[in-house]
Amino acid sequence: MNQRPLSPHLGVYRFAYTMALSILHRIMGGALSVGFLVLVWWLMALAQGPDAYADAVEVLGSGFFKLLLAGWALAYIYHFCNGIRHLIWDMGAGLERHQARRSGVIVVVATIILFAAFVWAVCSGTPVTE
């Protein structure tokens, strides 16, 4: 029987924050999938009429769902920023270790700034329509 080399596993690698960002990217993608199901439920309630929509708005307006919506917004912003990073990698740029680490820091900082701007815009009290 041939002894084929085994693929490296997590025990071989030293933990780095770039590894954590990659794992977090996958987790955020899964969270966004759940958020998409909530969006579909909201749209179905909208299509079913005023009573169903009022029920959906009541549920989505609860404190728990507001926290979930904020989490989904954060997941979307992070997944978007890190997705741009991955697109740049797909073009063959930024693959050196120091470049990957620097782009990881940029993704985290951009996520924090964009999420803070989003929260400020949502909580500023300015009505969308009058």
Tens of pLDDT, residue by residue over 74-100, are 999 999 999 999 999 999 999 999 999
Judge contact between 28 and 79, C-beta under 8 A.
yes
- Residue 129 resides in a domain: no
> Residue 119 in contact with residue 70, Cβ under 8 Å?
yes
Nearest to 34 by CA among 77, 78, 69: 69
Mean pLDDT in residue range 31-58: 97
Query: 89 Cβ partners below 8 Å, 6+ apart?
Result: 95, 100
Inside any domain, residue 4: no
Q: Is residue 127 part of a domain?
A: no
pTM of the model: 0.84
Q: Is residue 65 part of a domain?
A: yes
Residue 12 lies in a domain: no
**Segments forming the whole domain that contains residue 24:** 17-121
The mean pLDDT of the chain is 91
Counting the structural domains of the chain, the total is: 1
Residue 98 sits in a domain whose CATH number is 1.20.1300.10
